[in-house]
Amino acid sequence: MTDSTFEAFRRAEALLAERRPLEALRELRVVLEAAPDQPNVQLLAGRAYLGSAQLKRAEEAFRKVLELDPSDYYARFALGRTLQRQSRLPEALAQLRMAAAMNPTPEYQEALGEVSARLAVERDRP
Protein backbone atom coordinates (compact mmCIF):
# COMPACT_ATOMS: atom_id res chain seq x y z
CA MET A 1 0.00 0.00 0.00
CA THR A 2 1.20 3.49 -0.77
CA ASP A 3 1.07 6.27 1.79
CA SER A 4 -2.08 7.70 0.23
CA THR A 5 -3.92 4.36 0.24
CA PHE A 6 -2.79 3.71 3.81
CA GLU A 7 -4.16 7.10 4.84
CA ALA A 8 -7.44 6.35 3.04
CA PHE A 9 -7.61 3.02 4.89
CA ARG A 10 -7.10 4.79 8.24
CA ARG A 11 -9.76 7.39 7.40
CA ALA A 12 -12.16 4.58 6.47
CA GLU A 13 -11.46 2.85 9.80
CA ALA A 14 -12.17 6.07 11.67
CA LEU A 15 -15.39 6.67 9.76
CA LEU A 16 -16.56 3.15 10.44
CA ALA A 17 -15.77 3.59 14.14
CA GLU A 18 -18.02 6.67 14.01
CA ARG A 19 -20.78 4.51 12.44
CA ARG A 20 -20.53 6.21 9.06
CA PRO A 21 -20.24 3.16 6.79
CA LEU A 22 -21.18 4.84 3.50
CA GLU A 23 -18.49 7.46 3.95
CA ALA A 24 -16.04 4.72 4.92
CA LEU A 25 -16.85 2.90 1.69
CA ARG A 26 -16.12 6.06 -0.32
CA GLU A 27 -12.69 6.24 1.31
CA LEU A 28 -12.14 2.53 0.72
CA ARG A 29 -12.76 2.73 -3.02
CA VAL A 30 -9.16 3.62 -3.81
CA VAL A 31 -7.84 1.11 -1.28
CA LEU A 32 -9.92 -1.73 -2.74
CA GLU A 33 -8.56 -0.91 -6.20
CA ALA A 34 -4.96 -0.80 -4.97
CA ALA A 35 -5.02 -3.80 -2.61
CA PRO A 36 -7.99 -6.08 -3.35
CA ASP A 37 -6.20 -9.16 -2.03
CA GLN A 38 -5.35 -7.77 1.39
CA PRO A 39 -7.47 -9.51 4.04
CA ASN A 40 -7.59 -6.43 6.27
CA VAL A 41 -8.89 -4.31 3.37
CA GLN A 42 -11.61 -6.84 2.53
CA LEU A 43 -12.51 -7.19 6.22
CA LEU A 44 -12.95 -3.45 6.63
CA ALA A 45 -14.99 -3.30 3.44
CA GLY A 46 -17.15 -6.18 4.66
CA ARG A 47 -17.79 -4.40 7.94
CA ALA A 48 -18.74 -1.21 6.09
CA TYR A 49 -21.03 -3.11 3.73
CA LEU A 50 -22.65 -4.86 6.69
CA GLY A 51 -23.04 -1.54 8.50
CA SER A 52 -24.82 -0.09 5.48
CA ALA A 53 -27.02 -3.19 5.00
CA GLN A 54 -25.38 -4.16 1.71
CA LEU A 55 -25.55 -7.79 2.74
CA LYS A 56 -24.56 -9.48 -0.53
CA ARG A 57 -21.47 -7.28 -0.81
CA ALA A 58 -20.63 -7.89 2.84
CA GLU A 59 -20.93 -11.62 2.27
CA GLU A 60 -18.61 -11.42 -0.75
CA ALA A 61 -16.01 -9.43 1.19
CA PHE A 62 -16.04 -11.79 4.19
CA ARG A 63 -15.81 -14.83 1.90
CA LYS A 64 -12.82 -13.20 0.19
CA VAL A 65 -11.14 -12.76 3.58
CA LEU A 66 -11.72 -16.43 4.37
CA GLU A 67 -10.40 -17.44 0.95
CA LEU A 68 -7.21 -15.51 1.75
CA ASP A 69 -7.06 -16.53 5.43
CA PRO A 70 -9.31 -19.44 6.49
CA SER A 71 -8.22 -19.02 10.13
CA ASP A 72 -9.76 -15.54 10.49
CA TYR A 73 -12.40 -16.24 13.14
CA TYR A 74 -13.75 -12.68 13.08
CA ALA A 75 -14.47 -12.96 9.35
CA ARG A 76 -16.32 -16.23 10.08
CA PHE A 77 -18.32 -14.54 12.82
CA ALA A 78 -19.14 -11.56 10.60
CA LEU A 79 -20.08 -13.86 7.72
CA GLY A 80 -22.34 -15.80 10.08
CA ARG A 81 -24.06 -12.60 11.19
CA THR A 82 -24.41 -11.49 7.56
CA LEU A 83 -26.00 -14.81 6.60
CA GLN A 84 -28.25 -14.58 9.66
CA ARG A 85 -29.50 -11.17 8.53
CA GLN A 86 -30.31 -12.75 5.16
CA SER A 87 -32.32 -15.49 6.96
CA ARG A 88 -29.90 -18.14 5.71
CA LEU A 89 -29.80 -19.75 9.11
CA PRO A 90 -28.23 -23.16 8.39
CA GLU A 91 -25.32 -21.45 6.61
CA ALA A 92 -25.06 -18.89 9.41
CA LEU A 93 -25.02 -21.65 12.00
CA ALA A 94 -22.09 -23.40 10.30
CA GLN A 95 -20.00 -20.22 10.22
CA LEU A 96 -20.88 -19.23 13.78
CA ARG A 97 -20.04 -22.72 15.06
CA MET A 98 -16.59 -22.48 13.48
CA ALA A 99 -16.05 -18.94 14.81
CA ALA A 100 -17.09 -19.96 18.33
CA ALA A 101 -14.86 -23.04 18.21
CA MET A 102 -11.90 -20.92 17.10
CA ASN A 103 -12.56 -18.10 19.58
CA PRO A 104 -15.11 -19.01 22.29
CA THR A 105 -15.99 -15.50 23.41
CA PRO A 106 -19.39 -14.73 24.96
CA GLU A 107 -20.38 -12.64 21.92
CA TYR A 108 -19.73 -15.55 19.55
CA GLN A 109 -21.47 -18.04 21.85
CA GLU A 110 -24.49 -15.74 22.13
CA ALA A 111 -24.77 -15.40 18.34
CA LEU A 112 -24.51 -19.16 17.98
CA GLY A 113 -27.27 -19.61 20.56
CA GLU A 114 -29.55 -17.11 18.79
CA VAL A 115 -29.28 -18.89 15.45
CA SER A 116 -29.61 -22.33 17.04
CA ALA A 117 -32.78 -21.22 18.86
CA ARG A 118 -34.32 -19.73 15.71
CA LEU A 119 -33.63 -22.93 13.79
CA ALA A 120 -35.20 -25.00 16.58
CA VAL A 121 -38.32 -22.82 16.55
CA GLU A 122 -38.59 -23.16 12.77
CA ARG A 123 -38.20 -26.94 12.98
CA ASP A 124 -40.99 -27.15 15.56
CA ARG A 125 -43.48 -25.15 13.49
CA PRO A 126 -46.24 -27.15 11.80
For 13-69, the pLDDT digits (tens) are 999 999 999 999 999 999 999 999 999 999 999 999 999 999 999 999 999 999 999
**pTM for the structure as a whole:** 0.93
With 90 as the cut, is the pLDDT of residue 124 above it?
no
As a whole number of angstroms, the distance between CA 41 and CA 31 comes to: 7
With 80 as the cut, is the pLDDT of residue 126 above it?
no
CA distances for 98 relative to 25, 39, 60, 105, 107, angstroms: 28, 18, 18, 12, 14
User: Under a CB-based contact definition with an 8 Å cutoff, are residues 5 and 33 in contact?
Assistant: no
pLDDT, residue 2, reads 82
Amino acid at 37: D
